[in-house]
Amino acid sequence: MNNSQPWEWPEPQWRGHVNKIRAGQSLLHPDPAMRWTDGANVAVLLSFDSDHETPSLRDGETSPGRMAQGEYGARVAVPRILELLRRYEAPASFYIPAVCALLRPDEVPTYVDNGHEVGVHGWIHERNTQLTYEQELDLLGRATEVLHKQSGAKPTGIRTPSWDFSDSTLNVIRELGFVYDSSLMADDEPYELVQEGSQTGIVEIPVEWIRDDAPYLMMDRYSGLRPYMPPRQLTQIWKDEFDAAYAANGVFQLTLHPHIIGHRSRLIVLEELMEYIRSHDGVWITTHENLAAHVASRITGPRTSNS
């Protein structure tokens, strides 16, 4: 690869970047009445990225203050979240870095005992785009083994740390045998991942920064990163997202972080949202794993191996 500027790239080069990983066929049933369990009008997917101390550890920021900020997520926020989910009878998906699972070996079993899914979220919340294929495969492979051992079942899904999806990530996902990924943003609804024009059979459950608590509520003392809206204003954004998904008979997917959403004045946002969602008829609240299994049968056509 030469060092030319993007505007100097020949057509095969820019097409190659664009076509490396693309959105394939939509996995929604064409008949809205047949899309979801029991004829529901919408599928609701709640997910929590239990990062705790790992973003700071990854960056070598190991002061007791930074460690305490991450510890809050596991010590205080997770129990509050589990209680809220219990009250609203809402199964959810928890994506946890292996280092967090090793720091607290009872956390993953607690998620499982409460009826929630556990998915892979890297080793130490690493940045995949800074890794080689071999490094990424090693870290995600070891992370999968840790969660398999602690949960009693091999995870079927992955969310890359910070949604950082490298040129190697899809190959690693296929090598490790994941059923679905939830890190990309090419649609509102689930779709199949296509790699360089070939079907993969991998379900993508798309995410979006709009439906993530971090952009609205994160705080960094030493940078310009500050919460930019009162939490209750955020409730309306997510209600609007839910309403649009409900009208389209689609998916409402939400990404949250215990150490962000789990504070008292912020958990109100999730509680008000759940009250609103539960006030509607025909709502199927399920895990990402169950949603992926539900739509996987919609994949048609030849699939390539990852040999």
Query: How high is the pLDDT of residue 3?
Result: 80
Q: Which residues of the chain have pLDDT under 70?
A: 1-2, 221-225, 306-307
- Name the CATH superfamily for 22-296: Glycoside hydrolase/deacetylase (3.20.20.370)
pLDDT tens digits, residue range 142-179? 999 999 999 999 999 999 999 999 999 999 999 999 99
* 6-26 pLDDT per residue, tens: 999 999 999 999 999 999 999
For the chain, what are the domain ranges? 22-296
260 CB-near residues (< 8 Å, 6+ apart): 213, 214, 217, 218, 266
pLDDT of residue 302: 77
pLDDT for the residue numbered 303: 74
User: Two tokens at 139?
Assistant: 């870290």
pLDDT at 188: 97
Task: Check residue 223 and give its pLDDT.
Answer: 67
